Amino acid sequence: MQAVCDILTCATPESWFEQAVTEQEILLIDHANCEKKAAATAMNLMYRHTTLPDLLTKMSQLAREELLHFQQVVELMRERGIRYRRLSPSRYAAGLSALVNHHSKNALSDLLIMGAFIEARSCERFAGLAPHLDAELGKFYRGLLKSEARHFQDYLALATKYSEGDISDRVRRFAEVEADLVNSSDCSFRFHSGVPE
């Protein structure tokens, strides 16, 4: 968790955790959506960058794990009588995605930095949520910490490897925007939403 805390420049506001406890149905549905999107992102990177063996290896492992997590969340929802349904996305991923310079030679590195922040924030929220939830759900979220922390580190290592230069400035810029997204108000509660209105 120390590496996660080092990259994130702020903690999730306590009001987000308070809302998560009262909106566990939305929390689980959006968590399932996030796992599915994470797997799709990894697969997309594999399709677009077939000549990068380290990326192919890490992303294939990540996609499998994210799909397993998706399956596990859907099963938890089924056991709790929660119907899986579509939710509008939060502004979090779109806010980070807006930083990616798709016309730069470092576009891939930007995408990987974005992935690192999403995984790091997920990890931080899993750790923060666990004590507030029932025993089964708390244990499940604690069990996800190790893999999510590894995903964050894999994304950051690949971003460093495939960048044309030092990524420190880009990481700082993503950190600034990410912190603003987490600390500003949101009208809809989601797994990566900001402060509840």
Helix, strand, coil % (nearest 5) of the chain? 75, 0, 25
The pLDDT, as a whole number, for residue 149 is: 85
Q: What DSSP assignment string belongs to 62-77?
A: HHHHHHHHHHHHHHHH
Q: How far apart are CA 11 and CA 76, in angstroms?
A: 27
What is this structure's pTM? Answer: 0.95
Task: Show the domains of the chain with their CATH numbers.
Answer: 2-196 (1.20.1260.10)
The pLDDT, as a whole number, for residue 166 is: 96
Q: Which two tokens stand for residue 126?
A: 């899993």
- Render pLDDT for 12-29 as a digit per residue (tens, 0 to 9): 999 999 999 999 999 999
- Render pLDDT for 153-170 as a digit per residue (tens, 0 to 9): 999 999 999 999 999 999
The pLDDT, as a whole number, for residue 146 is: 84
The pLDDT, as a whole number, for residue 148 is: 83
Q: How far apart are CA 67 and CA 65, in angstroms?
A: 5
Q: How far apart are CA 95 and CA 72, in angstroms?
A: 28
- Give every CB contact of residue 189 below 8 A, 6+ residues apart in sequence: 19, 20, 23, 26, 27, 196
Q: Check: CB of residue 31 under 8 Å from CB of residue 70.
A: no
